[in-house]
Structure 1
């Protein structure tokens, strides 16, 4: 979807990386290695996004560190487009709508970091029917064309593992008190 609007594959990857998880910080060489692109190709796109005010740049020693500019007026919209590009909105809608008592849904792993690896790690907190959950995950996989690895945690289990999820990238895609894409 986004590829038809933004013809630069590198720019698309940068937008997904930085806007899906705004806490992501990265430097030129690390991004070039991750994307398998030349440093020049990545530098050009980083400069364009920085000049547009979509990325903020901070010196860190002899390198520049980039991150999403959360104060940019288009930040919420670009973040929503990035999530929709990966199909997260459809996954959440398909899985959460009919499951029962879901308090929180979030994505961890590569997708939370903005890397399109083809595997979405989806974590639900609440009480749900496991068999029904796995059936919905299979349907959502067919819808978005990606493998979904689902995990359901009780509130107690989540409380025990909460600190671990804070250390890893975690992208909240739905919460009972705020609906989809309000936290993150």
Structure 2
């Protein structure tokens, strides 16, 4: 069944303004923004953005830094719900939202996850990737789809597709490439978390 993930999360949070503000900070976790700057970025009126910032401050999701000239706001990455919110929003917007709304493109995929390098814009070493796919999808179809996203967002996406057998074998052997992905925060777009981690030594 097809559905609009962005619309779903707006209904859950009951505010398009609130979701736009949170998505801005989730895409730019290290960024501080002032009220007027944030209003320009999310393309909403200042008073509406100010009202939502006040509510988000009360939940402690946004932190405020006061300076003599203006106040700055940033995301509280230590919030107890931070990882859950990261997952919800990356399933709804951006690359994750595009994948979730076009899951038929990835037919034959057992697991698809966004790695911590992608989620938090972390520097990558030679073998680090943004997206891991496990399964037997139509590779040409997946490649074209992801290339179109790269073009749309003007951002390179590094991804790897491996077979279920290879994944199981490398997972059981604690292969550094696989383990480096699984031991860090990630967002699983396709597949079940329990199945993904089955056979991993604790």
Give your verdict on TM over 0.5. Answer: yes
Q: For residue 149 of structure 2, what is the aligned residue in structure 1? A: 148
Structure with bigger gyration radius: 2
User: Residues of 2 paired with 1:15 and 1:88: CA distance?
Assistant: 16
SS of equivalent to 2:91: helix
Contact 1:125 1:152 in 2 (8 A): yes
* Structure 2 residue 178 is matched with structure 1 residue 178: no
In structure 2, distance between residues paired with 1:105 and 1:6: 24
Task: Flag as ranges the 4+ runs of structure 1 deviating above 4 A.
Answer: 104-108, 123-126, 150-153
TM-score normalized with structure 1 length: 0.57
- Specify the SS of the correspondent of 2:17: helix
- CA deviations on 1:128-160 (whole Å, 9 max, x unpaired) are xxxx7653044569xxxxx5015559xxxxxxx
Q: Does 1:56 align with 2:71?
A: no
> Does 2:89 match 1:88?
no
Residues matched between the structures, number:
136
Change (3 A) 1:25 1:137: farther
Compute the TM-score of the two structures, normalised by the length of structure 2.
Answer: 0.53
Gaps of 5+ in 1: 99-103, 113-122, 127-131, 142-146, 154-174
Question: What is the correspondence of 1:49-128 to structure 2 with a 5 Å cutoff?
Answer: 49-86=56-93, 88=96, 91=99, 94=106, 106-107=117-118
| Shift in alpha-carbon separation, 1:77–1:20, aligned structure 2, 3 A | farther
Distance (whole Å) between structure 2 residues aligned to residue 9 and residue 78 of structure 1: 15
